[in-house]
Amino acid sequence: MVRQKPNVNVNGSALNAGKSNTVRSTMFFFIMILFAVAIVINMNGKGTATKTEVPISEVIQRANDPEGNIAKITVSGDALEITLKGKDEPTETSRKDASGTLYDQGLKNYCDGMDGDELAKCQETYPVIEYKEDVNVWGAVLDVALTVLPIIAIVVFFSWMMRQANAASDKSLSFGKARAQLYGPDKKKVTFNDVAGNEAAKQDLTEIVDFLKNPKKYEKLGAKIPRGVLLAGDPGTGKTLMARAVAGEASVPFFSISGSEFAEMFVGVGASRVRDLFSKAKKNAPSIIFIDEIDAVAHKRDARGGAGREDEQTLNQILVEMDGFDNDSGVIVMAATNRVDMLDKALLRPGRFDRHVNVTLPERKDRLEILKVHFKGKPVEADVDLEALAKKTAGSSGADLANIANEAAITAARGGHKAISNADLTEAFERVAIGPERKSKVMNEKERKITAYHEAGHAVVGHVLPDSDPVHKVTIIPRGSTGGVTWFLPPEDRSYKNIYELKDILARAMGGRVAEKLIFGTDAITTGASSDLKNVAELAKSMIVEEGMGKELRNQVFPSEATGYYTIATSKPYSEKTAETIDAEIKVLADEAAKRAEEVLKANKKVLDKLAEELLAHETLEEKELEPILKEAKLPTVAKLH
């Protein structure tokens, strides 16, 4: 495996869900339940006062007796309640035989056939028999529950829906409302001090901050306040951070939404969210709307086959809203993208995103500044050399560097150190670049030997070829998914590579496989070189297709899949014949690289043996230890290109 620049992914942060709403609606639900329980207890409560149970025979006998002192017998089902004369409430209970009425059981029809005064007189002497509907208490509870609970549930559900809809002014689940995040003054402010390097971009944005702070100053002079600012740059270069810093510096509300969120929406929802976002921003003006990863919705309308009806509506709505701004609306729309080339041109017209701020990968001194920002407040040993790390990390983004700083702290903590040492830093760097060291991975002696020759092959070829970067470190300790690593480091940052440098990169990548073949024979080639071969194939292809470095295809370049101009679904932007030529040209480059690696290693077999031997003995060799071994190696004329 050959490594030049770390290449890591950094996870984006997730949006918070609106928690307080759920808490409130849960409480509401509980109150309703308590209410229902209270009703049930209340109904049941009537029958719970203490009463004397009297045998039915005694009740009948007393009822038939004019002196029996019973005013009323209430019959519900088989249960009897007896109210004595002069009392308001029943004080005795009894139970009649289930098989018949009270009359069947001996009660006399004493007032039968009477009415008017006669009846009233009779009832003064004999008890009144009152029939209540057969109420089974628990059955009643069940009935009530079955009627009331669905109503409660519906009420709760609707009130929950209403709350969600209302609460959407902050965040959360409702459709059609912008799930925008608002960084109010209470949230931790990000300022330009948190953004290291990128002075040019910060300069441009300072102007925007001033617009937001003193709009009057510009209005008086009739200056048009910029409407849309597009931040363009590689992933992890700090675009999102920079947009938040603008809001922080200007102390204005910041409404942020990510283009990728639109992707998960139903038809029409994206557009309505855009409308909502803009209306909210206008209400809170001066304010900033930030559409992160805008390429997710605003890619060229024809670039992705038929995929984007919904995206198109969303994009159109953004355009409509931006056109509808008054000059003094006080809302500035910022957007960020990794892929300006992918954006729909309509978005870049005057009055829309007409200000472009390029955010670039940090140069060495900027990398140092970024590292300082991220090591601020972390305890470090005296030996920590951030400059050396800044030097090693050409091609890394701010996010990569932030990640290394964090990994270094984790590594130190894991090791039980009080402060971060340079060794922690190196480990973090390699971990981020390739993956964790895996000392526990067992390699048998044969495998270790093959790995040692493989890495030595990379190192010797890389060292000998004149346009390759110097070898920085070689190790046969497995890391990530690799058996070993050979690191090359450029002495300085460079923006361009010439064809000789690229060809040397191809040759040194082949060095591993070629060394294996040379030492162990053609039959012994292993799977250890697959990632090298993949890298060769990719680099060679881009040299031919994108850089015009082929023999035949020297004056033509073709947009590649990677740039998103076509997908497998659409056709390639070149003919079948050209495709064959491309394949042939790639093969020429790969074969040439293998041939050069072989010539170098054949001519330097002794150095190869020595280096492999040292690797087997020490596992890792740094620049200083490599130097005396490698300096014996010579460049054979056949491997020369110029």
Could you give the 3-state DSSP secondary structure of residue 406?
A: helix
What are the structure tokens assigned to 574, written together? 């070149």
Query: What value, to the nearest 5°, has the Cα angle with vertex 619 and ends 618 and 620?
Result: 95
> Are the C-beta atoms of 470 and 614 separated by less than 8 Å?
no
Identify the residue among 111, 156, 195, 247 touching ligand ADP (CB under 6 A): 195
Question: Interface mask (CB under 5 A) for Zn ion, residues 515-544, using x and -?
Answer: -----------------x------------
End-to-end alpha-carbon separation of the chain, Å? 27
Q: Are 427 and 477 within 8 A, CB to CB? A: no
What is the x/- site pattern for ligand ADP, positions 228-267, by CB under 6 A?
-----x-xxxxxxx--------------------------
- Rounded CA separation 40/34 (Å): 10
Per-residue binder mask for ligand ADP (CB under 6 A), 414-443, x = binder: ------------------------------
Cα-Cα-Cα-Cα dihedral of 258, 260, 266, 271, to 10°? Answer: 40
Distance CA(45)–CA(135), nearest Å, equals 14
Name which of Mg ion, Zn ion, ligand ADP, none residue 532 binds, using a CB cut-off of 5 to 8 Å depending on partner kind.
Answer: Zn ion
Closer by beta carbon to Zn ion, 168 or else 450: 450
CA distance 395 to 367: 10
- Is 312 marked active-site? no
Angle at 423 between CA 419 and CA 427, to 5 degrees: 110
Choose the stretch contacting ligand ADP; rule: CB under 6 A; options: 108-116, 297-305, 395-403, 461-469: 395-403
What is the distance between the alpha carbons of residues 330 and 343, in angstroms, rounded to a whole number? 25
State the DSSP string of 500-529. Answer: HHHHHHHHHHHHHHHHHHHHH-GGG--GGG
Residue 240 binds Mg ion (CB under 5 A) = yes
Task: State the minimum distance, in angstroms, from the CB of residue 7 to Mg ion.
Answer: 17
Helices (H), ranges, 221-307: 239-250, 259-263, 269-283, 295-298
C-alpha distances out from residue 356 to 347, 404, 554, 575, Å: 12, 30, 33, 36
Between residues 373 and 549, which has the closer beta carbon with respect to ligand ADP?
373
Give the binding range for Mg ion (CB under 5 A) out of 43-51, 236-244, 344-352, 500-508: 236-244
Rounded least distance, CB 413 to ligand ADP, Å: 19
Give 59 or 370: the residue with its C-beta nearer to ligand ADP.
370
The residue number whose beta carbon is nearest to ligand ADP equals 398
Measured CA to CA, the distance from residue 60 to residue 127 in angstroms comes to 10
Size of the site for ligand ADP (CB under 6 A): 19
Among residues 361, 370, 476, 489, the one that binds ligand ADP under rule CB under 6 A: 370
CB-nearer residue toward ligand ADP: 21 or 258: 258
Which residue type does 169 have? S
Give CA–CA dist 80/102, Å, rounded.
10
Binding to ligand ADP, residues 4-33 (CB under 6 A): 10
Binding mask 538-577 for ligand ADP (x = CB under 6 A): ----------------------------------------
Query: Which listed residue (310, 427, 430, 455) is catalytic?
Result: 455
> Binds 1, which of ligand ADP, Mg ion, Zn ion, none (CB < 5 to 8 A, cut-off by type)?
Zn ion
Residues annotated catalytic, as ranges = 455
Interface contacts to ligand ADP, rule CB under 6 A: 10, 195-198, 233, 235-241, 336, 370, 373, 398-399, 402
